[in-house]
Structure 1
Amino acid sequence: MFRSIRLIGEANMGLRSLAFGMAVALAGLTALASPAAAQDPIRLGGEVQGWFQDGDAQLTSGEYVDVYVFEGRAGQQVTIQMSSEDVDSYVMIRGPSGFSEFNDDRDDGDVDSQLTVRLPANGQYRIQATTFAPGESGRYTLSLQEGAGPRISAQGGGRAQDGTVNAGQLSTSDDAISSGEYADSWSFIGTPGQTYVVRLNSAEFDPYLMVRGDGVEEDNDDDQTGRGSRNSRIEFVMPDAGEVSIITTSYEVGETGAYTLVLEEAGGTTALASTNGSTVRPGQAVTGTLEVGNDTLRSGEYMTVYTLNGQAGDHIELTLRSDQFDPYLFVQGPGDFAVANDDDDTGEDGVNSRLVLTLPASGEYQIVATSYAPGETGTYRLSVTNSDAGSVETAVSPRAGNSFADGVSLSGMLSASDEQLTTGEYADRYVISGQRGDRVALDLQSDAFDTYLFLRGPDDVSADNDDGPNGTNSRIDMTLPADGDYTVSVTSYGPGEVGPYSLTAGLSMGTPRQAGVQGGPRVFAIMVGISDYGGYSSDLAYTADDALKLAEDLRREGVLNPSSVVLTDADATVAGVRGAFAEVAAQAGPDDIFLFFFSGHGSQQSVAVSGNELDGLTETIVLRDGQITDTEMAELFASLDTRLSLIVLDSCFSGGFARNVVSRPGVIGLFSSEEDLTSQVAVKFQAGGYLSHFLRSGLTGDANYDGDDLITAGELTTYLRRQFAAEVMDVQTQTMDGQRSYQHLVVERGGVQVDDVVIRIGRG
């Protein structure tokens, strides 16, 4: 039986307000009852045999548990499998930065467990092998493998579905057949005696297909249909057993890439069940959403299908991008044409998907926008372009240089003799070489037309800009993700526009405000976290750790000034905070950043209605022996003379501080909830609050979207909003008088602009 949600040892979510005073249970998902479980090492590629029995360590909810540890690295993908004939397996993994995943059933109706995860950080990870129900005893086998591991049963690949397209990927983490080629194995249950056709298509490797079953042994290298295709096709009769294995592999050893596996009854079609998108054409970009209620692939991914009418020989480029899920593209068309692309983990934009293809025949093609994993949702942008558009590449003159490092400055002319995009705009192209990690800026200016600038490069990098800071001129400022040649396309916003232009390209320090930001220990911080309130208020889980971990992370990143102060529990008094301001803030100068961070209880007090307190309530942070109001906090911040000041409050009603504190230039406010709502403890991340957890990961690199080591106000606030949308949107909270709502992040940037630098990481 598949169990989608399971709680082990229930823990209160915990409202972090003085008024409600609700304590958070410390049990959590990983809590153990006595005796504690020994931690045994397990190596990657290894397997252990275990036995649950009386006397073993137990979770607080009564299940026996064994713990295994291993060292992992950031970005590494691992697969954990747990199988048993005696118990209903349950496996969990815990690691750095509050990382936590679990799995009950590997497949619907399966009592074994399988969990494939990508590790978020370097460090030690703990695998907890346990059972679904308390008191289950017996033997089990646990294995740890690097890579995606088998997708279904012990085979790789999955369960092939009749009458649809099954998307897959050959990768170096797959098992290899005896001759050395990587392979996935798909199982299929069909009607005995029925004739089936299976096709393996890929634009990235030479497919090789095998079918094995009771009395069935068929191999095929190339589909001999007269079209010169390298794709593979087998027609077979389903044996009496009604089940076969379909092995998808390559002709040459070591080949990898995306593929589609099409299975149907002989004489059937491979048309998708529905087309719920629209007709698209080259030169068009559409936005859409994968969401609950969409059509799905048989493997569970939501999808939208678009129709493209093309001609034989058309060169088409498709790009599917999303910040909210891992995109996957595939295309079907006349003559069993089918190609797919995932582009996972390739370069800076590796989760986006791109296909460049030549249409083999005239007719209707179906473009499927979907996700790499089942159940992923979010908005996306699908771009369809004619890859021949503006195909004339204009060499940059040698004296101007042909690399970003040397700098490029040239004058050109859009004219009616230039190549035209399919949408009617004239275009020139230039090739400029660059190196991974270079921050570059391109400026396109013209008094004759409304400029438009495109940049395309290795690893499917893509950037474009219509209007720069000067209205009709264009600017791109970005960090290059790979070494290689980059194609710069100069065109116009509207069809048929012509006239002279100037293009400059070279290395960039960002905007003038960014160029002046110094690296090193420039963050002067007061970090306060209270878990033990000593009876003044109810205790909280993890909140003291929030302050300690933030200090540790910033110190490790090389940005925390030694004069910074951490106040936890008994030291976090009103006098302690005021004294820290007098000590730390006085040392922070005009080139520095000041950070005040608080994780703990928040409250409200009645005051007269005014322009600053429209609801007649003032908000407070609750310290060990008293409270500091938003008005008092504003007075403390008024004493600062810094480049930028940041107030981060992870407490109930904290949004009420925005109006008073963020009242002058150079102050950013980040608040865990709106001014009349409570905030929840982030038990799932073993953090005192969601804002605390995501602030740490954002400031230490996750918000560094463009890779330039400058975390800007725009990047940080965008990162936090995205994390709240993904993880906190369904977290319930309430007002002081019990009206229920949901927790939302409050951001107030005041006069701080999106490209203002919060911190420079990775540099001394």
Structure 2
Amino acid sequence: MRTFLVALVALWGAALPSFAQGGMMGGGFGGVSGRPLDTDLTTATSILTPGQQSEWAFTMKEGETIIAAATTTNFDPAIQIVDKEGKVLGENDDVRLGVQDALLVYRFAKAGSYKLLVKAFKGAGGGQFKLTLRRFVATDIKVGARTTSPPGGKSVQFYRFSAEAGQTLLIRNAPELSVFSPTGESVALGSSLQEQVARTLASFRTPAKGDYYLRAVSTRPYAFTVAAARVAPLTLGQAPVARKLGAGGVDIWTFQGTEGDFIRLHAKAEGTMIYAQLAAIPTPDSDDTDTREAIALFEVGEKTEGELVALLRKTGTYELTLAQPLGLETDYTLTTTKTVRGWEQKAPLKETLALGGTDYYAIDGKAGELLRLEGLSEQFDIELELYNLRGEKLTSNDDGGKGRNALLTALLSQTGKYLLRVNCVGNGGSGAYQLQRAPDPVRPLKLGERGIGTLSAEGTEIWSFTGKPSQALILSVRLPDFDTSVRIFGPDGIELAARDQGDSTSTLFGLTFPLEGTYTIWVSSKSGAGKYTLRLIEAD
């Protein structure tokens, strides 16, 4: 048997002592390329002869672990670990359903000589493949116990702990780290909390029951804790819940949500801060994009720590995660609602905005409807924002009305519910306010005649005209020297053309209409105020 012990030790470094490869079954390396990526990871490229196997001999210590992966697009690889008598101790064909690469984790109970075999599944196929090997001795730790780094300043250290399937585990004050599952796959680490907490707290969900391996990298002494989050069910709209959050702990509340639910969640802690984050729990057939897009979060004021306002875009299971950023023990009260107040717009609505708060209202709208709403307040600088039922902001206005009042104007493109958000600019004010429907602002524009208008700061004026299918017209707009925009909408509320004026004082639109009906021209001030003119003529 040909061996490459000297060459491999030189290439792969001291992490793989007594490690040799040969072609005992006619396989052989057929060329090898390896390099030390770090102190525990090695890669090599080899060629498998069809119908044969490649094998590597090595000596292992008691309690030593390897994570071996064979990847290729040329054949379906399989990995086996065998002892010196040829008994199969561990094997793997597919990482998981749908992934044909092989991945194997094995911990050696006894010191001795072993072999790693790479072959094609059922002996079919061959060709070039890549072998990746991670080799280490892990220190056993327990979930919930504090772990300190070993003496001597070792830069890479592995730890092993057991966990049940579906647990949410948290690693607080950890150094740079990665986690491997019982199958050897790398577990995605993240924090379901704000950046301030994420700096000291990483979290992950265990995909299966078994032993997990944590790889820590640091040249300085450290101490960390792997802890299981406290998980409890939650019913939206239930009575407020009082709870004590233990030192270093994290609470996770799970609940069922329905597409279109508008929810407000507020964890209030006396005398300290508490951070909250909402996430969708993935299903077996979902991906990261599905879970990210399942929630539309709305901005909350800086004075409302622990509050979340969200619109659920998908039906499913959600989790609310709560933590104290410094890991301090704290008492908190959790309040939840899943309703939003309706406003029919038939009469003015008078309300009071809490300090740093936001109010939301559900309003009905129809496709092609021109919506114009005023927000009035003498006590704070009121701002209005309009959202569709996917939580996407359609438009907003701060000072479009008189003084500091808001005047929001929107042409609706869909029939259904919309959300109106009321808040104070800067989130620092409070007091009484009034909402009311503003008069229809549309002015008719006749073909060939000149229209004259006056824009207020951040204001909008709307003109209408009748168009016919395939009719071709030219719209000329002349404006003073301030920043404006011009938009043209069809009878169905769909935008046909738009242009920001910038430094230009005039612009032309060439228009051909797809539908018969009433079209609208929106002239808006982005900054400044003044007069403008517009004219609609037949195209030659």
Give the TM-score normalised by structure 1: 0.24
| Structure showing the higher helix proportion among its residues | 1
Name the structure with the higher strand share: 2
TM-score after normalising by structure 2: 0.32
